[in-house]
């Protein structure tokens, strides 16, 4: 037995209390990990954004459209390699009215060049291009709604009010897990033709333009060139590299993200207070023992070591249990469910390894912080007064 | 003890004009009033007296748990009045073994681990600490209870573990504060016999505070305190 062992052994003095405290810490760590995973899942798109991809939108707001002619003009700007226009369509499958998924009208020819992380076979791509009402859907969405290639689907538009029949031309997968696999892509022309007839004010407009820059060119320079090109036009643009664009999109959720951030911290503070209370109770109950230890030669620093060791052990145990239970809950349960059912929001809902390491480190650190006051009290123990309790 | 040692017994405890005053708010309470006392090494002395007479305070001072208000307090070669708390703590670890009325063993440690506790403060290797703890437990007759936890021991056995813990560092002085107070008559007898053995066979100086005249009779010297002075 060593000095440090004593603190560890003390953990199991009051077995039920220790188990409950470890469980409490574990639940707090689980909540922390889940909140951090939500934050991570939301920001992953910004983090993994392509460095050579630019998104051009209306300078005033993301929700305001650009003239369709801008699409062609952007592709002519020096340094731009590929360009694709995109419109947020906003529609639901009448057969699954409660299911939300992204619906985007895009240039079928160009969008798979700009977004080369979306994978379909050349034959499927050709089939899509040939089919005016063809659509390409993510495999997660297809799995959830039971769609197969060749199926006919009718979507009900909300921004473009009407019934839109489609045929699934291909089901895309992705080169990496962080890509949204729950989006429904279809031909821009299909939507625009409908708009010209039924909603002329919305015709010949694009939501945003995505571009890939030529190798060796800096995305920031090309973005600046695009904006300068439209500076004298009726509608000015704001071009950003994809990371900035995704970040500005997240900016709309900044209050929610900040709240989640704060809540995750509050949870840890609550955990620290619970742990601190448990440790303080233990120190109070062991006043006599600490008095005896001081009498037989232990110094105040030794008592502090025992208290801190006990708190660190409980914190670390709680952290380990929290990480251990959060892994199957998120990776095998909630994560899969969210990816399959809310892929548009959470294309990749998995615990980042860094969050697990952070959770363990914080459990240990906060355990130690929680024990600072009880440890200080133990060091200030009056030996005679505590021994008086003995006899 | 050899004959030559018996002939030249040095003083292990020397008290000169020792006072101890506590303050209850602004009111001074003089607990010990100018005590002079000499105790020889190897003595077995009992301190008796009514509650509030100052016997526990005197025991605490001799054991280095407290410092005097004035006077000289020489114990085992150290002028305890001049040592700070850390120095007194280290001195206690080397020179004093404690036996309390309630045994206060660590419930999460076995008997052998409880006994080895004071040795954690030394530089002895683990194997040596274990060996010494086993030896101390054998001395108190608990060689067969080394791996038992306190909850698995009787009150008398627990007190014997406490005594083993008190002697494991081979201190020169053992202070015992009502060591039989929580024990039945038979167990108390065992403990007093054990303390007697430690005194006679191992030449430990034993200072015992007790209310029990029968226990005090086992000491070679009985001193009585009354209102802070030795009667």
Total residues found in chain B within this entry: 231
Q: From the CA atom positions of chain A, what is the Rg in Å?
A: 29
Tokens 């060049």 correspond to what residue? Answer: A113
Q: Which residues of A touch B177 (CB under 8 A)?
A: 387, 390-391
Is B66 an 8 Å CB contact of chain A?
A: yes
β-bridge pairing B96-99 and B173-177: parallel
pLDDT surpasses 50 at A390:
no
A79 confidence band (pLDDT: 50, 70, 90): very high
Would residue A159 count as lying in a domain?
Answer: yes
Query: Which of A7-11, A374-378, B146-150, B203-207 is predicted with the least confidence, judged by mean pLDDT?
Result: A7-11
Contact A384 B60 (CB under 8 A): yes
pLDDT surpasses 80 at A384:
yes
User: Nearest CB to A1: which of B102, B104, B113?
Assistant: B113
Task: Give the helix ranges, DSSP H, for chain A.
Answer: 3-10, 15-47, 69-76, 108-114, 122-130, 139-145, 188-198, 219-229, 242-251, 254-285, 287-295, 300-327, 335-341, 353-370, 372-379, 383-390
Comparison of pLDDT for A232 and A45, the residue scoring more = A232
**What is the pLDDT at residue A345?**
64
Contact B100 A391 (CB under 8 A): yes
Would residue B13 count as lying in a domain?
Answer: no
Q: Is residue A215 domain-shared with residue A72, that is, in the same domain?
A: yes
Q: Is residue A203 domain-shared with residue A341, that is, in the same domain?
A: no
Nearest CA in chain A to B89: A297
Cα dihedral A215→A220→A223→A228 (10° resolution) = -120
Is B160 an 8 Å CB contact of chain A?
A: no
User: Nearest CB to A390: which of B86, B93, B100?
Assistant: B100
Specify the 3-state DSSP secondary structure of A41: helix
pLDDT tens string A174-211: 887 777 888 999 999 999 999 999 999 999 999 999 99
User: Nearest CB to B89: which of A3, A13, A297?
Assistant: A297
3-state helix, strand, coil in chain B (%, to 5): 40, 25, 35
Task: Tell me how many domains chain A contains.
Answer: 2
Q: Is residue A124 domain-shared with residue A229, that is, in the same domain?
A: yes
Q: Is residue A77 domain-shared with residue A190, that is, in the same domain?
A: yes
Would residue B75 count as lying in a domain?
Answer: no
Mutate to test the interface with A, among B24, B68, B100 (most CBs of A within 10 A): B100
Would residue A247 count as lying in a domain?
Answer: no
Comparison of pLDDT for A143 and B8, the residue scoring more = A143
Specify the 3-state DSSP secondary structure of A183: strand
Q: Is residue A223 domain-shared with residue A102, that is, in the same domain?
A: yes
Q: Is residue A183 domain-shared with residue A269, that is, in the same domain?
A: no
Task: Domain of residue B219: give its range.
Answer: 43-64+84-230
Which residues 6+ apart lie within 8 Å of B172 measured at CB?
A: B12, B41, B76, B95, B204, B205
Q: Is residue A37 domain-shared with residue A80, that is, in the same domain?
A: no
* Angle (nearest 5°) at CA A92 between A112 and A204: 55
Q: Which residues of B touch A9 (CB under 8 A)?
A: 106, 108-109
Would residue B117 count as lying in a domain?
Answer: yes
Between chain A and chain B, the number of residue pairs with CB atoms below 8 A apart is 73
pLDDT tens string B30-78: 999 999 999 999 999 999 999 888 999 999 999 999 999 999 999 998 9
Contact A391 B89 (CB under 8 A): no
Q: Is residue A70 domain-shared with residue A204, that is, in the same domain?
A: yes
Domain boundary among A181, A206, A235: A235
Would residue A246 count as lying in a domain?
Answer: no
Q: Is residue A13 domain-shared with residue A133, that is, in the same domain?
A: no
Contact B89 A294 (CB under 8 A): yes
**What is the pLDDT at residue A341?**
67
Task: Tell me how many domains chain B contains.
Answer: 1
pLDDT tens string B120-141: 999 999 999 999 999 999 999 9
Contact B113 A10 (CB under 8 A): no
Q: Distance between CA A194 and CA A186 in Å, rounded?
A: 13
Contact A390 B121 (CB under 8 A): no
Burial of A176 (0-12, 13-18, 19+ CB in 10 A): exposed
Q: Is residue A28 domain-shared with residue A142, that is, in the same domain?
A: no
Q: What is the mean pLDDT of residues A200-228?
A: 93
Mutate to test the interface with A, among B94, B104, B110 (most CBs of A within 10 A): B104
Q: How far is A303 from chain B (nearest CA, A)?
A: 13
Task: Domain of residue A168: give its range.
Answer: 60-235
pLDDT surpasses 80 at A61:
yes
The ipTM of this complex is 0.90
Q: Which of A90-104, A132-146, A244-258 has the highest mean pLDDT?
A: A132-146
Average pLDDT over chain B, rounded to an integer:
90
Q: Is residue A212 domain-shared with residue A77, that is, in the same domain?
A: yes
**What is the pLDDT at residue B224?**
94
Would residue B118 count as lying in a domain?
Answer: yes
Contact B120 A295 (CB under 8 A): no
User: Nearest CB to B89: which of A1, A2, A299?
Assistant: A299
Question: Of chain A residues 271-310, which have a CB less than 8 A from chain B?
Answer: 288-289, 292-299, 302
Which residues 6+ apart lie within 8 Å of B23 measured at CB?
A: B29
Q: Which CATH number does the domain housing residue B189 bear?
A: 3.40.50.300
A165 confidence band (pLDDT: 50, 70, 90): very high
Q: Which residues of A touch B181 (CB under 8 A)?
A: 391
The two structure tokens encoding residue A340: 């399959």
Would residue A66 count as lying in a domain?
Answer: yes
User: Nearest CB to A298: which of B56, B104, B121?
Assistant: B121
The answer to whether the CB of B64 falls within 8 A of the CB of B96 is: yes
pTM of full prediction above 0.90: no
Q: Which residues of B touch A289 (CB under 8 A)?
A: 104, 106
Q: Is residue A230 domain-shared with residue A273, that is, in the same domain?
A: no
Task: For residue A232, count other CB atoms closer than 10 A to its CB.
Answer: 7
């Amino acid at each position: 037995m060593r000095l440090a062992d004593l603190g560890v052994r003390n953990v199991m003095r009051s077995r039920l209390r220790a188990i409950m405290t470890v469980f409490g810490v574990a639940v707090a760590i689980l909540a922390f990990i889940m909140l951090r995973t939500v934050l991570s899942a939301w920001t992953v798109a910004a983090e993994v954004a392509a460095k050579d991809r630019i998104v051009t939108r209306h300078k005033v707001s993301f929700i305001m459209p650009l003239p369709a002619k801008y699409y062609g003009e952007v592709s002519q700007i020096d340094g731009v390699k590929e360009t694709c226009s995109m419109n947020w369509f906003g529609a639901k499958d009448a057969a699954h009215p409660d299911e939300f998924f992204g619906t985007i009208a895009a240039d079928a020819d160009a969008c798979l060049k700009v977004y080369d992380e979306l994978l379909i076979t050349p034959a499927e791509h050709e089939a899509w291009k040939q089919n005016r009402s063809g659509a390409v859907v993510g495999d997660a969405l297809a799995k959830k709604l039971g769609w197969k290639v060749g199926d006919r689907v009718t979507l009900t538009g909300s921004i473009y009010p009407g019934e839109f029949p489609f045929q699934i031309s291909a089901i895309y997968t992705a080169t990496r897990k962080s890509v949204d696999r729950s989006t429904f892509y279809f031909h821009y022309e299909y939507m625009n033709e409908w708009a010209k007839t039924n909603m002329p004010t919305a015709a010949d407009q694009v939501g945003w333009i995505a571009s890939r820059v030529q190798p060796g060119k800096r995305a920031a320079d090309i973005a600046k060139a695009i904006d300068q090109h439209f500076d004298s036009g009726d509608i000015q643009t704001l071009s950003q590299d994809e990371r900035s664009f995704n970040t500005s999109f997240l900016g709309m959720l900044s209050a929610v993200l900040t709240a989640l951030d704060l809540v995750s911290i509050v949870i840890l503070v609550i955990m620290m207070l619970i742990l601190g209370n448990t440790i303080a109770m233990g120190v109070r109950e062991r006043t006599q023992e600490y008095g005896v230890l001081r009498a037989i030669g232990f110094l105040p620093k030794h008592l502090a070591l025992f208290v801190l060791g006990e708190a660190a052990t409980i914190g670390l145990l709680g952290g380990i249990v929290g990480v251990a239970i959060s892994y199957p809950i998120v990776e095998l349960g909630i994560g899969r469910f969210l990816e399959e059912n809310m892929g548009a929001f959470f294309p990749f809902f998995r615990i980042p390894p860094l969050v697990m390491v952070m959770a363990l480190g914080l459990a240990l650190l906060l355990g130690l912080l929680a024990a600072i006051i009880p440890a200080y009290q133990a060091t200030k123990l009056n030996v005679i007064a505590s021994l008086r309790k003995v006899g | 003890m050899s004959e030559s040692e018996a002939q030249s017994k040095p003083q292990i405890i020397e008290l000169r004009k020792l006072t101890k005053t506590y303050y209850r708010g602004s009111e001074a309470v003089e607990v010990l009033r100018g005590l002079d006392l000499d105790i020889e090494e190897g003595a077995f002395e009992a301190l008796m007296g009514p509650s509030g007479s100052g016997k526990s305070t005197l025991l605490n001072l001799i054991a280095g748990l407290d410092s005097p208000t004035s006077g000289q307090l020489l114990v085992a070669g150290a002028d305890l009045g001049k040592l700070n708390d850390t120095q007194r703590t280290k001195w206690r670890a080397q020179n004093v073994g404690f036996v309390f009325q309630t045994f206060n063993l660590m419930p999460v440690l076995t008997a052998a681990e409880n006994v080895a506790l004071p040795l954690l403060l030394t530089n002895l290797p683990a194997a040596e600490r274990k060996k010494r703890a086993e030896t101390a437990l054998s001395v108190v007759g608990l060689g067969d209870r080394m791996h038992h936890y306190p909850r698995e021991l009787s009150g008398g056995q627990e007190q014997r573990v406490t005594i083993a813990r008190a002697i494991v560092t081979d201190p020169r002085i053992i202070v015992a504060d009502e060591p039989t107070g929580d024990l039945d008559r038979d167990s108390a007898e065992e403990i007093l016999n054990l303390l007697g053995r430690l005194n006679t066979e191992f030449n430990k100086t034993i200072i015992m505070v007790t209310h029990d005249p029968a226990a005090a009779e086992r000491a070679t010297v009985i001193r009585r305190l009354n209102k802070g002075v030795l009667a």
